[in-house]
């Protein structure tokens, strides 16, 4: 990933290349990436990538190259996709998980959040349950967790401090990948069932919240007129939906070719629980 991203970035930044030469080099790099993925997938016991339909996957790679950057949009989950699962052998927190170690929260609240995670996370990843069966449990998990956080009177400044010190780490190569997208003005839509406030603050901390990046997620509503008032729990919602819904909500064109990273299939179960945002997700 890092090698391929670096190679693409070098092609993108070279002013001496003609459009045809740059296109040919990009195709060569993408072909190399596909061969690498294909080789990795052949050994089922050790593979980190599995391909169900090789020919269909090859055609998608070809479409990415032939359509050009103007027809591409990247859609990505955040937790354990843009962020790491482990760093230096230690499991890193998710957007919600950062509060379990937050010194600003009471010990009883942190214990409550840990209890809720231990109770509901096995349901989220249970392969024997249908999406419809998971929905009520997931909604209850988010509602109870948020109520616990709100009960501690968390404020905007405290949240910013928590995010700075949370130990959440981005995956290797993410900065280079994000810069490549920014250079080519390719939209990056971060579509997450986590906390949008946390994601935005993290992106800002890593200098990655650029003009081509948009976040569609759950947001907390802070009262700027009264800084001592805790965030409202009424706007902490689960948001998901089809392409048409995203277009309406973000006033952004969802392009025809979408390269999706990571998002677990059970996140799509949230479609039925769309509610209004506190504000436009665009800055």
Contacts of 104 (CB under 8 A, 6+ apart): 152, 154, 158, 161, 162
Report d(CA 182, CA 197) in Å as an integer: 21
Half-sphere exposure of 139 (CA within 13 A, CB side): 18
Catalytic residue among 31, 79, 131, 157: 79
Contacts of 15 (CB under 8 A, 6+ apart): none
Catalytic residue among 31, 43, 53, 77: 77
79 is catalytic: yes
Q: Give the residue among 115, 111, 120, 168 at the shortest CA–CA distance from 142.
A: 120
Contacts of 32 (CB under 8 A, 6+ apart): 4
Reading the block at residue 110, the tokens are 């942190």
77 is catalytic: yes
Q: Which residues are catalytic?
A: 77, 79
């Amino acid at each position: 990933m890092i090698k391929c991203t670096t190679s693409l970035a070098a092609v993108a930044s070279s002013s001496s290349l003609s459009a045809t030469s740059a296109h040919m080099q990009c195709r060569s790099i993408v072909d190399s990436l596909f061969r690498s993925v294909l080789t990795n997938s052949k050994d089922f016991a050790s593979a980190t990538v599995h391909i169900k339909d090789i020919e269909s996957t090859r055609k998608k790679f070809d479409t990415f190259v032939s359509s050009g950057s103007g027809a591409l949009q990247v859609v990505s989950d955040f937790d354990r996709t843009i962020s790491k699962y482990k760093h230096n052998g230690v499991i890193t927190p998710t957007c919600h998980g950062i509060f379990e170690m937050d010194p600003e929260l009471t010990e009883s609240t942190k214990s409550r959040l840990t209890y809720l995670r231990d109770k509901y996370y096995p349901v989220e990843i249970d392969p024997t349950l249908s999406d419809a069966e998971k929905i009520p449990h997931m909604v209850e998990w988010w509602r109870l967790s948020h109520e616990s956080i709100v009960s501690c009177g968390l404020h905007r400044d405290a949240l910013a401090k928590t995010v700075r010190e949370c130990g959440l780490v981005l995956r290797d190569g993410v900065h280079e990948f994000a810069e490549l997208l920014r250079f080519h003005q390719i939209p990056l839509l971060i579509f997450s069932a986590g906390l949008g406030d946390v994601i935005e603050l993290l992106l800002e901390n890593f200098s990655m919240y650029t003009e081509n990046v948009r976040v569609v997620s759950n947001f907390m509503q802070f009262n700027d007129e009264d800084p001592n008032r805790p965030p409202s729990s009424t706007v902490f919602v689960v948001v998901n939906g089809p392409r048409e819904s995203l277009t309406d909500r973000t006033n952004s064109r969802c392009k025809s070719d979408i390269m999706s990273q990571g998002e677990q299939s059970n996140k799509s179960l949230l479609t039925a629980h769309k509610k209004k945002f506190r504000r436009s997700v665009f800055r």
